[in-house]
Structure 1
């Protein structure tokens, strides 16, 4: 057998229909290769399946005869070209490596009943292996489970039947006897035909091509809706594991992923303020390849990371991922503005490495991993999480506004990150909001109350009304100017807010101009002027209140600002009601 580093040789063959029910089509000629093993580990580990201690050192065998029922099945497949490079895996007859010089398919290593806690049952009954029980399956087992002939001594038995005696006897009540166990294993092997899936996904054997493990993982995910575990040796794929519930529906084993990731990567941790994505890490895989992994407990939301040159959302590109009941999706978006129609899917300035992106949901967390091809990514990172239960859907894949966000500045040389607790131009934003709220949204209302209810105190009411409205108008103009300056700096898409502001400014100017043409009290036109003045003032106030609340929404100031302004309005309304009741009683 030729020992080929990084290569797993095999060529096509088609099994006879008599060997097993509905045997699928098998791989074609060539070699399968593994690349980027170190970088992909941090993504693949998102769905590791626990396997036997004598293979990986994970887990503990339970050897007592009285054992509880197992929790799930672990189907382990092996690639003979890699598995058999080390003769210690094989028995003296080398049966397990039969055809390893020109392998055609992944072969079976075993179907193991396992526990969720990392242990597994073993040697559950005293039933000895009887080869006659599976005589009708002999040819299929020899071809697709050749290592079965090389059984190593176990804690209960040894020789060819050791796998059944050690593991198969613990598969009850799913498989209650020897024949049922081996037939079930073969049927699961062919139903979840890894060889066929990879072939159809374009991962065909080749003497020259090298395939990233992330692409292989994605192909399995898309076909079986689960994440496999891949084991490589010296860059060559050796084993592939799939986990199943007892009804053989795919499942993922519960593991502490952040702890495992820490062993693979060095990087940053996003500041754990209120943000829902406390885990985000990066590593430089090579001179121009950067790997990113982030996670969130919001499994029914999208998770996103944007790369910005100035810390602004607008103009940046983002990688967004989500897991729905039917698909796992990762897309790049270009953030052309703040409105949904300007956030465009499948566009952006990021060079994402092909076949090396992964999104998975496990242990009540969502994990997103991807690679960027660049000498150094942009240093201003924007993180966001979507609202719970609202995922982008085909054909537009439009994003709903995020429910939470956070940003950091990163030094890729030192690995240090600095949280950006304040939004860019935060002082200008606050000045714009406070001036407009106080001028248009509060003082003008107070001026109206004075004009309506303090008429008996003539001419005091008039001077108070004029002064208050003039002061409010001046503050409002300054606030509008701040808004135009802010819009030019941010280049934000706030067309509705801007339009309302212009309307309010125009109405305010009309009110000032109306003072210059105010008729005398005795004039017949004074009645119509009063109607105009009062009508325009009321419309202005309605627009002002609406735009203040809308501005709070755009600025994402939250409930505190809404509650504060709402409380001021409530006080003004109560005051007006009290004065109005006094007028009625006097009449």
Structure 2
């Protein structure tokens, strides 16, 4: 069967593997945390900012100097922590650290960072004044959320914050040495109002929608259609060639537009989606090589034409496979609605059915031709 059929099967298998490794669930500042965080943390009235790597900080402040914090990060194992420091140094800071125990129990505790060794990280000590609202830890997909409230004498403005994580799960509340850490000076007074965040979320969703429409139209519909024309309509020479060239050119332009919109979206999100981004860039490079191959195509009688055909066919097939995979990957990244999923599934089904029917017709034509040739030589 045609390579496109293989694409459909491998896409689903590869997407399942990526999902198992947790690459598909990156936190966004417009993620609706109200659907899974407990009371009173289940609100959208947060100022939200990416702060480091996959770490995202949400916070809100009440009139009585009580601040609510929700720290999130990609999580597989170990612990995640956020410390408040007076001078930006680790020693003397107080931290809130959360993790999921080996038995599946969520834990969050305060620690006093008296020194650099694990024995000097003191459990259930510190200078942070917690309210009577119990802190909470929630694992949602591949993201861990640490939610807690602190009481301040004066509202913090510019505050040194230490962020760190370790991949070893704490035993008896004893933290392992961190795998990585950073210090940021966070300005709480520059928080964006909720209305602005709502506008930003809407703007980003529009970009996501446009990115998806362009990607599905260019990479997921037109380019496979052009490949189908090239494989199954060569008996309509030279019509197949002109159709193939025009369809692929239009598909490439629309696909290129999707990459441009994706770059804008990536810059505004400030959250790295390395796999989705890298696959998209690689597909774009393969497509550009296909364009160059068009201008460097040797004559049919050339000795290297056979090798050019191999290059053009297999690089094109690889580009289509990765592009369709990346579309599925992108739909999962943004937790697309059923409408998007059904729409793309319908496109894949149409391509699948078309390939099956056309492949059967192609083989029948070849069989009839071989019979005619055999009878002609036989006579």
Quickly name the TM-score band, shorter chain normalised: 0.5 to 0.7
Whether 1:425 and 2:200 are equivalent positions in the alignment is: no
- Counterpart CA distance in 2 for 1:457 and 1:313 is 54
1:418–1:520 CA distance, 2 compared to 1 (3 A): closer
Q: Once the 2 structures are TM-superposed, how far is the Cα of residue 357 of structure 1 from its aligned partner?
A: 4.8
Q: In structure 1, what is the equivalent of residue 222 of structure 2?
A: 443
Q: In structure 1, what is the equivalent of residue 346 of structure 2?
A: 567
- Counterpart CA distance in 2 for 1:489 and 1:295 is 25
Q: In structure 2, what is the equivalent of residue 347 of structure 1?
A: 82
Q: Once the 2 structures are TM-superposed, how far is the Cα of residue 449 of structure 1 from its aligned partner?
A: 0.5
Q: Secondary structure of the equivalent of 1:425?
A: helix
Unpaired runs of 5+ in structure 1?
Answer: 1-272, 281-292, 297-303, 320-330, 362-367, 379-391, 398-408
Q: Secondary structure of the equivalent of 2:134?
A: strand
1:571–1:458 CA distance, 2 compared to 1 (3 A): same
Q: In structure 2, what is the equivalent of residue 557 of structure 1?
A: 336
Q: Secondary structure of the equivalent of 1:347?
A: strand
Deviations 1:254-293 (A, max 9, x none): xxxxxxxxxxxxxxxxxxx99536985xxxxxxxxxxxx3
Q: In structure 2, what is the equivalent of residue 276 of structure 1?
A: 35
Whether 1:308 and 2:48 are equivalent positions in the alignment is: yes
Aligned residues of 1:436 and 1:476 also touching (Cα < 8 A): yes
Q: In structure 1, what is the equivalent of residue 57 of structure 2?
A: 317
Aligned residues of 2:129 and 2:151 also touching (Cα < 8 A): no
- Counterpart CA distance in 2 for 1:425 and 1:377 is 30
Aligned residues of 2:50 and 2:270 also touching (Cα < 8 A): no
Aligned residues of 2:283 and 2:319 also touching (Cα < 8 A): yes
1:464–1:493 CA distance, 2 compared to 1 (3 A): same
Q: In structure 1, what is the equivalent of residue 235 of structure 2?
A: 456
Structure with higher Rg: it is: 1
1:472–1:372 CA distance, 2 compared to 1 (3 A): farther
Q: Once the 2 structures are TM-superposed, how far is the Cα of residue 573 of structure 1 from its aligned partner?
A: 0.9
Whether 1:356 and 2:356 are equivalent positions in the alignment is: no
Q: Once the 2 structures are TM-superposed, how far is the Cα of residue 393 of structure 1 from its aligned partner?
A: 6.2
Task: Give the number of equivalent residue pairs.
Answer: 251
The structure showing larger relative contact order (alpha-carbon pairs under 8 Å, at least 6 residues apart) is 2
Q: Secondary structure of the equivalent of 2:35?
A: coil
Aligned residues of 2:79 and 2:170 also touching (Cα < 8 A): no
Q: In structure 2, what is the equivalent of residue 512 of structure 1?
A: 291
- Counterpart CA distance in 2 for 1:417 and 1:277 is 23
Whether 1:489 and 2:268 are equivalent positions in the alignment is: yes
Unpaired runs of 5+ in structure 2?
Answer: 1-31, 60-67, 86-93, 97-127, 137-146, 158-167, 177-191, 368-379
Aligned residues of 2:49 and 2:58 also touching (Cα < 8 A): no
Match of 2:245 among 453, 461, 466: 466
- Counterpart CA distance in 1 for 2:286 and 2:215 is 14
Q: Once the 2 structures are TM-superposed, how far is the Cα of residue 420 of structure 1 from its aligned partner?
A: 6.8
Aligned residues of 1:358 and 1:370 also touching (Cα < 8 A): yes
Deviates more, 1:540-549 or 1:304-313: 304-313
Q: Once the 2 structures are TM-superposed, how far is the Cα of residue 359 of structure 1 from its aligned partner?
A: 3.2
- Counterpart CA distance in 1 for 2:364 and 2:301 is 28
Aligned residues of 2:50 and 2:271 also touching (Cα < 8 A): no
- Counterpart CA distance in 2 for 1:475 and 1:452 is 22
**Equivalence map 1:47-446=2 (5 Å):** 276=35, 293-294=40-41, 307-308=47-48, 316-318=56-58, 334-335=71-72, 339-340=74-75, 345-347=80-82, 353-359=128-134, 370-373=149-152, 394=170, 422-446=201-225
1:576–1:309 CA distance, 2 compared to 1 (3 A): closer
Aligned residues of 2:283 and 2:323 also touching (Cα < 8 A): yes
- Counterpart CA distance in 1 for 2:255 and 2:278 is 15
- Counterpart CA distance in 2 for 1:417 and 1:514 is 47
- Counterpart CA distance in 2 for 1:502 and 1:305 is 36
Aligned residues of 2:211 and 2:259 also touching (Cα < 8 A): yes
1:274–1:492 CA distance, 2 compared to 1 (3 A): closer
Whether 1:477 and 2:252 are equivalent positions in the alignment is: no
Q: TM-score, normalised by structure 2?
A: 0.55
Q: Once the 2 structures are TM-superposed, how far is the Cα of residue 548 of structure 1 from its aligned partner?
A: 0.7
